[in-house]
Amino acid sequence: MNYDVVVIGAGPAGAIAAKYAAKNGASTLLIEEHASIGSPVQCTGLISTAALRECEMGEGNFVLNKMRGAFVYAPNCEELRIEGKEVKAYVIDRKIFDRALVERSLDAGADLLLRNRFIGMEPGKISVISNGEKKDIRAGIVIGADGIQSSVGRAAGLPRCEKILSGIQFEAPYDAKDPEFVEIFTGNNIAPGFFGWAVPFQGLARIGLATACAPATYYLENLLKHPVVASRCRGSCTELVMGGIPLGASGKTATEEVILVGDAAGQVKPTSGGGIYVGAVCSRIAGEVAAKASRKETKLSEYEKRWRSAVGRELGTGMRIHKSLGKLSDENLNEFVAFLNKQEVREVITEYGDMDHPSVLLQKLISRGDKRQLIKLFGVAIKTLL
């Protein structure tokens, strides 16, 4: 086998990169270690309307629910209601969604190999384990879309992301206050350094949290005891998911022959842990650049420049916001939610709130609201935005 571009990992980032490499004229192979696409699922499946557009997908049969807003709960249980004017996000079935994305890459001309695990590479070729046997595949350019543990990144000697959060989540029957609203739970005994969530759909909810502190199972028990969750959760867990969330993109994501995309490159929003939107933006660029580079029309360093210019600033600001939020005590979080709950501030959130670009909202809050309170809470992060 001999391909211009070989993409390792058939998650969303790999599927989109393969589609764009094939669309741009490169012979492309997509390799997945599992026997089926999209499983095991390690995701809440909450994606913005912009993310769906970026993936070039319409509202398919993978949409389980449409979301218009969020309830944010302070540690003292004060409720902040953020309501959008229209649908802001979808809850999706990742298995069906990932398959649909892979089908698009096959339609564009890419080939797919399932149950083949990447194990290493040398210039011009990669090695996989297939049916227990080692096999070599000639590869001009390798795109590592193999998730947070990225074997491709390790084999290429590329640096890891800055930080990894532990995510844990289960699915259970749930009486949501409003089934079109996501619920967010803050507090240092629930999810230190991040937040917990309940994302309702079809009488169920995906209830979980992410945190930098171990063990995540301890905090999940606390989340279950949260008065809001305890009053709405009915019955026992039907599905348990655990996985890492990479934050702080790798400092270098391309060599002469290798590109990293998606979780493998740490291309995840540090404020929400969502990786599908950013991964989609970057993997389209990866596919285009890899195809051009396979014809020697450019170098892979073009990928690094283009993705950083598309989303690098937002990710950098997001990381600063994440670090500042992570330092807040429960008292500070109560103060912050109370601040956001002011009528005039809520109006700004309704108008400018965007889960993919939180820095835009923060800029608006700074320019309109009482800067002093924000500076007190967020310190350096706010100052860098002023």
Ligand X SMILES: Cc1cc2nc3c(=O)[nH]c(=O)nc-3n(C[C@H](O)[C@H](O)[C@H](O)COP(=O)(O)OP(=O)(O)OC[C@H]3O[C@@H](n4cnc5c(N)ncnc54)[C@H](O)[C@@H]3O)c2cc1C
Cβ 198 to ligand X shortest distance, Å: 12
Nearest CA among 35, 31, 32 for reference residue 1: 31
Q: Does 14 bind ligand X (CB under 6 A)?
A: yes
- 205: enclosing H helix or E strand: strand 204-211
Dist. CA 386–CA 384, nearest whole Å: 6
Residue from 208, 266, 287, 353 binding ligand X (CB under 6 A): 208
Residue from 12, 196, 287, 318 binding ligand X (CB under 6 A): 12
Q: Which of 42/301 has CB closer to ligand X?
A: 42
Per rule CB under 6 A, count of chain residues that contact ligand X? 38
Looking at beta carbons, which residue is closest to ligand X?
275
Q: Does 304 bind ligand X (CB under 6 A)?
A: no
Q: Does 273 bind ligand X (CB under 6 A)?
A: yes
Binding mask 241-260 for ligand X (x = CB under 6 A): x-x-x---------------
Cβ neighbors of 16 (< 8 A, separation 6 or more) are 55, 101, 105, 279, 280, 283, 284, 287
Dist. CA 349–CA 354, nearest whole Å: 9
Q: Which of 25/40 has CB closer to ligand X?
A: 40
Q: What is the dihedral of CA 74, 80, 86, 88, to 10 degrees?
A: -10
Q: Which of 14/200 has CB closer to ligand X?
A: 14
Q: Which of 147/187 has CB closer to ligand X?
A: 147
Task: Determine how many CB atoms are found less than 10 A away from the CB of residue 27.
Answer: 18
Cβ 205 to ligand X shortest distance, Å: 13
Burial per residue of 366-377, b for 16 or more beta-carbon CB atoms within 10 angstroms, e otherwise: beebeeebbeeb
Residues from 315 through 354 that contact ligand X (CB under 6 A): none
Q: Return the structure tokens found at 102.
A: 């892979």
Q: What is the residue type of 263?
A: D
Whole-Å CA distances, 346 to 185, 324, 337, 361, 385: 18, 21, 11, 11, 20
Dist. CA 188–CA 136, nearest whole Å: 49
Cβ 204 to ligand X shortest distance, Å: 15
Q: Does 358 bind ligand X (CB under 6 A)?
A: no
Whats the size of the chain, residue-wise? 386
Considering only the stretches 3-11, 132-140, 323-331, 367-375, report the one whose residues sit in contact with ligand X under the rule CB under 6 A: 3-11
Considering only the stretches 43-51, 76-84, 172-180, 331-339, report the one whose residues sit in contact with ligand X under the rule CB under 6 A: 43-51
Residue from 6, 7, 46, 191 binding ligand X (CB under 6 A): 46
Do residues 245 and 254 touch, judged by C-beta distance below 8 A? no
Q: Does 10 bind ligand X (CB under 6 A)?
A: yes
Q: Does 167 bind ligand X (CB under 6 A)?
A: yes
What is the phi/psi pair of residue 345, to 5°? -75, -40
Q: Does 170 bind ligand X (CB under 6 A)?
A: no
Q: Does 276 bind ligand X (CB under 6 A)?
A: yes
Q: Does 31 bind ligand X (CB under 6 A)?
A: yes
Task: Determine how many CB atoms are found less than 10 A away from the CB of residue 132.
Answer: 5
Q: Which of 275/318 has CB closer to ligand X?
A: 275
Residues from 93 through 132 that contact ligand X (CB under 6 A): 117-118
- Enumerate binding residues for ligand X (CB under 6 A): 8-14, 31-34, 42-47, 117-118, 145-147, 151, 167, 169, 208, 241, 243, 245, 262-264, 268, 273-276, 279
